[in-house]
Amino acid sequence: MRILQDFARSLRQLPRVSMVAVGVFVTLGVLAPYIAPHDPNAQDLLAAHAGISWEHWLGADHLGRDTLSRLIVSARTSLVGMCLVLLIALSVGITIGTIAGYKRGWVEEVLMRIVDVGLAMPSLIVALAVIGIFGTGYWNMIFALALAWWPGSARISRAVAVGVMNRPHIETLRVLGASPLRVYFHHLLPTTIGAVLVYATADAGAVALSIATLSFLGLGIQPPTPEWGQMLVDALPYLETVPMQVILPGLVLTAVVIGFNLLGESIALNRVPTPLSRRILASRRMLASNWTRAQQ
């Protein structure tokens, strides 16, 4: 419960723009089937390439499917995929990272060298290789992306875990005779998860982009499931006649990625103490010099 509270508190200090972008994305993703005006897969060939109208607010694609509905339902596809990838990647990463941070010594060396190997390979190439071996499919894509993403979260959680383990209250617990399991599950893990979850927001945008990229290449989400990368591919042959159908999914995807990136960046910056402005520094020095004068 306290993890959620901390999470909510840190969310409050974040930039408005990114909160709106991410908020809209998540809301649409959760409520997609209830707010989409049309069935995203219903074809109406008479309305193919339709422009903006009361019937189709954002027009329709080459098969006459309503673009707005497809955009909205795509948000759900992306959101679910993103959550699954992050869930798997973070579970593995946090487990590996906290074990390394808890045990230290050669265990840490071995685990972190494996992580280094994972980090050395570009994530998309890892994902492409895995899909190349196991074939295309929804779950193959999820696992491929999770495999590409876990080393990053392992690295972060190890750093957080080492910091937590070095705090004196962990030493106090050991002196009290707390079992290793108690220290790990009651103190190390909750603190680490809280910190790493916050950092994970920065990754979310990149995961969404990767899902779209794989789908664009025909390796991720398969038709007829609506997905932004797919919509781009479908509309690409008609770029010169109906450019809006290409631009719209691109814009939405860009907004989501920028939203998550801004969010992640500001979270990372929030963790660094901001330097004092020159004016405040001067006034503090003035105050301190008055103290010494008063003492003499």
Partner 1 sequence: MPEAQPLLRVENLVTRFKSVERSKWISAVDDVSITLAPGEMVGLVGESGCGKSTLGRTIVGLERPQSGRILLDGVDLSTLRGAELRRRRRAIQYVFQDPYASLNDRQTIGEAIAEALIIMGISDPAEQRRRIRTLLDQVGLPDALAERYPRELSGGQRQRVAIARSLAVEPRVLICDEPVSALDLSIRAQVMNLFLRLHKDLGVACLFIAHDLALVRQATSRTYVMYLGKIIEEATSAELYARPSHPYSKALLGSIPSADPRIEVTREPPEIFGDIPSPTNPPSGCRFRTRCPHAAEVCASAVPPLVALSPSHQAGCVLAEKFYAESAAQPLPHPAPAPRDIQTMHAR
Which CB sits closer to partner 1, 2 or 293?
2
Binding of residue 168 to partner 1 (CB under 8 A): yes
Q: Contact 155/90 with Cβ under 8 angstroms?
A: no
Among 20, 35, 125, 186, binds partner 1 (CB under 8 A): 186
Task: Say how far apart CA 21 and CA 19 lie, in whole Å.
Answer: 6
Binding of residue 174 to partner 1 (CB under 8 A): yes
Which CB sits closer to partner 1, 113 or 182?
182
Among 12, 45, 105, 177, binds partner 1 (CB under 8 A): 177
Which CB sits closer to partner 1, 5 or 27?
5
Binding of residue 116 to partner 1 (CB under 8 A): no
Name which of 176, 129, 122 is nearest 149 in CA terms.
122
Binding of residue 181 to partner 1 (CB under 8 A): no
Q: Contact 132/186 with Cβ under 8 angstroms?
A: no
Binding of residue 285 to partner 1 (CB under 8 A): no
Region from 104-112, 119-127, 179-187, 272-280 binding partner 1, contact rule CB under 8 A: 179-187
DSSP state of 187: I
Which CB sits closer to partner 1, 169 or 279?
169
Name which of 68, 168, 154 is nearest 119 in CA terms.
154
Task: Say how far apart CA 90 and CA 96 lie, in whole Å.
Answer: 10
Binding of residue 173 to partner 1 (CB under 8 A): yes
Among 182, 271, 284, 285, binds partner 1 (CB under 8 A): 182
Among 49, 62, 103, 187, binds partner 1 (CB under 8 A): 187
Among 77, 98, 157, 191, binds partner 1 (CB under 8 A): 191
Residue 80: C-alpha distances to residues 51, 75, 91, 154, 203 (Å): 30, 9, 16, 22, 15
Binding of residue 271 to partner 1 (CB under 8 A): no
- Hunting for tokens 């690295």 — which residue is that? 155
DSSP state of 27: H
State in angstroms the smallest separation of the CB of 164 from partner 1: 10
Which CB sits closer to partner 1, 179 or 289?
179
Ordered alpha helix ranges (H), the chain: 2-11, 16-35, 67-103, 105-120, 123-134, 138-165, 168-176, 180-182, 189-216, 228-235, 244-270, 278-295
Task: Say how far apart CA 129 and CA 148 lie, in whole Å.
Answer: 10
Among 46, 175, 269, 286, binds partner 1 (CB under 8 A): 175
Binding of residue 185 to partner 1 (CB under 8 A): no
Which CB sits closer to partner 1, 28 or 198?
198
Q: In sequence order, what are the beta bridge partners of 76?
A: none
Which positions touch partner 1 (CB under 8 A)? 2, 167-169, 171-179, 182, 186-187, 190-191
